[in-house]
Amino acid sequence: MRWLSAACLFALLAVVPSAQTTDWPLPAVLSRAATYIDQYGDKLTGMVVEESYVQDVIMVNRFGYRMTMAKGPTHRTLKSDLLLVRPAGTDTWMQFRDVFEVDGRPVRDRNDRLAKLFLDTSKSKESQAAKIAKESTRYNIGDVERNINLPVFALFVLERGAQSGFEFKMVTDDTGPALPKSAAFTPPPGAVVVSFNETQIRSLITTPQGKNLKSHGRFWITVPGGEVMMSELVVDDFTLTAAVHVAYGAQVGVDVPVPVEMHETYFNRLNNQRVEGAATYANFRRFDVKTDESIVPPPER
C-alpha cells in the first residue's frame, strides 16, 4: 500500500453558494472537504482511541451456502489502541493499531509502546512506515492480506493533493450498494453524497505483489462545513472484492466527528472465503509516550 503525498492543488471555486442552498457545485464541496481534511489531521494527531474489533472467516460454496472448512482461526476479537500520527518531516498521516488483547487474552501490559516506532531517529521514514503497517496487520485472520482496515484511511482520497487522481460525481439518487445494517450508518440529513472512481495509474491500494487495485466508493459530506460523516471504500478485481464502511459521530472532548463504527467485507473468489469485520471506537484521549514496553510474538495462527 502506498501513501499519497500532495502533488497537485485542486482548483478553488470563485463563487461560494450560501449555506442555505442544497445546490452546491461539486468543486465547492470537494474544496470544502479538502480544507476540512487538512484541519482534521491537525486536530486528531496524537489522539488515541480504544478499538473493539471482531473478525470472522466464512467459507461459502459456489451457491453461497456456508461451509465449515477453513484453515486457521475463524473468529477473533481484538482490543487495541489506535493512533493517528504525522511522522516528523512528512506531510503524510499514518494510522497505527496497537493490539493489547486477543480473544480475551492480554498480549502485553497495557502501556503505550508507540514511542519505539515514532521516536527512533536512526531509522528511515520508509522503514518506519513499513513497521507501522506490519504491526497494524499482525493479528488479522483470513487469507486476505490487508492494511486498509483502518478507519480514516478513505479520507486520503479527499486530500487536496490527492483529488486529481480520482473522478468525483455528485450522487443525486443514491441507489448504490447497501450500507451496513447498523444505526450508525443512517445517512445524515442534509449531507451530499459524492462518489469517486480512481483514475491514476499508480493506485492508492496495491497487492503485496505490487499489483495496482483501483478503488471507488462514496462519501457523505455536510455543507458548508465539509465534514465527512460516512465513507465507503471498495476495491474489485477478478479475484477479490473488498469494501470498508466507516460512520463518524460526535465524541465528548473532540471538536470534529470521529469514527464510531467500521464494517468491512472481503471476498476471495479463488477459494470462496469471506472475511467480515466490525469495529467500534470509544475512549478518545491524547497520546502519552512511554518507552518501557517490549513487543511480544503474536499467538499461533
Q: Which of 1, 57, 17, 8 is nearest to 163 (CA)?
A: 8
SS3 state at 222: coil
Report d(CA 27, CA 34) in Å as an integer. 10
Task: Please report whether residue 272 resides in a domain.
Answer: yes
Going 199 to 278 to 136 to 138, the CA torsion angle's sign is: negative
Task: Please report whether residue 243 resides in a domain.
Answer: yes
Tens digits of residue pLDDT in 171-228: 987 667 789 999 999 988 889 999 999 999 999 888 877 888 899 999 999 999 999 9
Let me know the angle formed at the C-alpha of 37 by 32 and 40, rounded to the nearest 5 degrees. Answer: 125
Where do the H-state alpha helices sit in the chain?
A: 26-44, 115-118, 125-137
pLDDT score of 105 more than 60: yes
Which phi and psi angles does 44 have, rounded to 5°? -105, -10
Which phi and psi angles does 177 have, rounded to 5°? -55, 150
Task: Please report whether residue 2 resides in a domain.
Answer: no
Tens digits of residue pLDDT in 269-290: 888 888 999 999 998 887 654 4
Tens digits of residue pLDDT in 7-63: 332 233 333 343 334 578 999 999 999 999 988 877 887 788 899 999 999 887 665
Report d(CA 98, CA 137) in Å as an integer. 10
CATH code of the domain containing 111: 2.50.20
Task: Supply 142's cell numbers.
Answer: 483470513
Report d(CA 37, CA 197) in Å as an integer. 19
Report d(CA 35, CA 21) in Å as an integer. 20
User: In which domain, by residue range, is 271 found?
Assistant: 26-173+189-285
Name the more confident of 84 and 244: 244
Number of domains observed in the structure of the chain: 1
Q: What is the pLDDT of residue 38?
A: 86
Which phi and psi angles does 96 have, rounded to 5°? -135, 125
Task: Please report whether residue 259 resides in a domain.
Answer: yes
Q: What is the pLDDT of residue 11?
A: 30
Average pLDDT over all residues of the chain: 78
Residue 212 identity: N
> In this predicted structure, which of 23-27, 45-49, 123-127, 263-267 has the lowest mean pLDDT?
123-127
Task: Please report whether residue 120 resides in a domain.
Answer: yes
Q: How many CB atoms lie within 10 A of CB 157?
A: 25
Dihedral, 12, 17, 20, 26 alpha carbons, nearest 10: -50
Task: Please report whether residue 18 resides in a domain.
Answer: no
CA distances from 43 to 207, 227, 272, 286 (A): 31, 13, 42, 11
Tens digits of residue pLDDT in 226-262: 999 999 999 998 888 999 999 999 888 888 899 999 9
Q: What is the pLDDT of residue 18?
A: 37
How would DSSP label each residue in 81-106? EEEEE--TT-S--EEEEEEEEETTEE
Task: Please report whether residue 20 resides in a domain.
Answer: no
Name the more confident of 1 and 251: 251
Report d(CA 32, CA 53) in Å as an integer. 32
Q: What is the pLDDT of residue 109?
A: 62
Task: Please report whether residue 83 resides in a domain.
Answer: yes
Tens digits of residue pLDDT in 149-180: 889 999 999 999 999 999 999 998 766 778 99
Residue 142 identity: G
Buried b or exposed e, range 8-31, using 16+ CB within 10 angstroms: eebeebeeeeeeeeeebeeebbbb
Name the more confident of 3 and 52: 52
List all residues 6 or more positions away from 9 whose beta carbon is below 8 Å from its beta carbon.
Answer: 160, 161
How would DSSP label each residue in 123-177? S-HHHHHHHHHHHHHTT--SS------STTGGGGGGSTTTGGGEEEEEESS---S
pLDDT band at 124 (very low <50, low <70, confident <90, very high): low
DSSP 180: P
